[in-house]
Amino acid sequence: MKRYVNPIAVCLWLVLVGIASAFHKPTYAQDPVPPADTEELRAQYEQWRQDFKTWGRWGTGDSKGASNLITPEKVASAAALVEHGIVVSLAPPVPQVVAADVNENGLFRRTTNRIHDGGTTDTYSVSYHGLTVAHMDAFCHFFENGEMYNGVPVEGNLNPEEGCKQGSIMSFRDGIATRAVLYDIAQLKGVDWVEPGTPITRADLEAWEEMSGVRAGPGDVVLLYIGRWKQREAEGAWRDQVSGFYADTLPWVHERMPAFLGHDFNIDWNPRPGWEGMRNPIHIALLNWMGVGIVECLDLEEAVATARELNRYEFMITFAPLPVEGGTGSPLNPLAIF
């Protein structure tokens, strides 16, 4: 029996496909070429696995890492940065529609429960690790060679029922309040946004410090701005191509020892030609060797606008995770306070 194909339905499908394609950035026309320093950096990266480890620096049972550098004095000095009383959220609205950077698992599902005469309730569900929900990573999120940060063995400390026994998000349940330093790379390069796939190098970070007059130090939160959300609004969502921290920034992180690196996308640069077989080099270095935390997918647009208006690129930042026993991280709504 012949099947009837509705031509209107076919045309509609083709139109929808065309619209969807228009909101995805094109994939690479050809394989990207490795930067000239790739081979040297790969060799140095292997040495940095040992040179940059902070295991045992704050005790063999420590699971806070560089956040130990946020002392009471550090918090007080961060609070002293507040001059205008301006409070800005650093989190985008949670995604409730599938997009190029939001897969089905990454949707934030809000279910409104039965509505009564006097009110209602709802249920939230999300797999927040990914490219869109503002979140922080716990140290047990990434591990290698069977070990988490500070040499904690994966075996016996991680299972599906209990999650992470050590190195979980509970280590940060008291929250973070410290100095944030904004690295406005879009302004540095004189663009509205940095093109996806552009590595942000140590030279970029230091050039911004020279231009702005501020520089990150121990216990700070580094906020890298590339204009991700501004570009997403103008051109649509994309994934895979990320203007993130390049490998040569790792010695800079080791020297400055911030408590966290933050970004408005994933912190690892991508694509990474010449780094095949190496998963998320920046994630591994921070979460496994150095004990430096990660906060990702932040919406820095309003904070950047405020910082530019005030010409102030350091301010107080505060955030706290949901206290989930065994959690590998948590969604966040960080606040910048000027």
pLDDT at 185: 98
Closest-CA residue to 131 (of 336, 278, 298, 5): 298
pLDDT at 19: 40
pLDDT at 32: 82
pLDDT at 30: 61
C-alpha 159/C-alpha 181 separation (Å) is 37
With tokens 């140590």, the residue in question is 202
E-strand ranges in 235-301 read: 260-263, 293-296
Annotated domain spans of the chain: 7-92+134-337, 97-128
pLDDT at 25: 53
pLDDT at 15: 37
Entry pTM: 0.90
Question: pLDDT of 43-91, one tens digit each?
Answer: 999 999 999 999 999 999 999 999 999 999 999 999 999 999 999 999 9
Q: Are 181 and 225 in contact (CB under 8 A)?
A: no
C-alpha 246/C-alpha 89 separation (Å) is 27
Q: Which CATH topology does 7-92+134-337 take?
A: Glucose Oxidase; domain 1 (3.50.30)
pLDDT at 18: 40
pLDDT at 2: 40
Point out the residues of the chain with pLDDT beneath 70: 1-30
